[in-house]
Amino acid sequence: METDPNRIDELHRIFFYDCPPLSKRIHQPVSGRAVNLAQTEQAVFRHALHDALRRQHKVPLSLGHLDEKNAEWALRPGVLKSLLRGDRIWTNLTDDDFPYYARQKVVDLKIGVDIALLAEKKLVDRIVLMAGDSDFVPASKHARREGLDIVLDAL
């Protein structure tokens, strides 16, 4: 798609998609120490961010949820590589080597629906999509078929 070098683009709206943090108590995998996820630095930041976004004009916040039932501790990929190379041994692992991971639910669906709606109703001519994965390829292809310019920015 050719763009006019004299064209001035205007940002109309920022759609922000996220999930509220988990609020349950869990135990660290190595030390067994109890952690209240609602009081972690990340949870406090997320709540503050969501509150700030709710007060912004033309910045709709759309929340999904985290899959609490299937959340689990996972070994960091770099740590696994170190173990396999023999640079580290299992008995030296710490709680920091195991982040707690919960998959986002419904967020991808909400993004896809919004992209399709914007495309079908011709409400915009360009979407800049910033995402950490490629789950939005079908929605992006649909928007392109509808004539939208889709700019993908992988985080």
Segment 1-25, tens digit of pLDDT: 566 777 778 888 999 999 999 999 9
Report the percentage of the chain scoring pLDDT > 70: 97
Segment 22-43, tens digit of pLDDT: 999 999 999 999 999 999 999 9
What is the predicted pLDDT for the residue at 3?
64
Domain count, the chain: 1
**136 pLDDT exceeds 90?**
no
Query: For residue 146, is it within any domain?
Result: yes
Mean pLDDT, rounded, of the chain? 92
Query: For residue 59, is it within any domain?
Result: no
Query: For residue 133, is it within any domain?
Result: yes
Read off the pLDDT of each residue in 108-136 and give the average, rounded to a whole number: 89
Query: For residue 113, is it within any domain?
Result: yes
The residue with tokens 């998609």 is 17
Query: For residue 3, is it within any domain?
Result: no
Segment 47-85, tens digit of pLDDT: 999 999 999 999 999 999 999 999 999 999 999 999 999
Task: Give the structural domain span for 133.
Answer: 106-155
Long-range contacts of 111-118 (CB under 8 A, 24+ apart): 111/15, 111/17, 111/136, 111/139, 112/136, 112/138, 112/139, 114/15, 114/62, 115/139, 115/140, 115/142, 115/143, 116/142, 116/143, 118/143, 118/148
Report the percentage of the chain scoring pLDDT > 90: 77
Query: For residue 66, is it within any domain?
Result: no
Query: For residue 38, is it within any domain?
Result: no
What is the predicted pLDDT for the residue at 154?
77
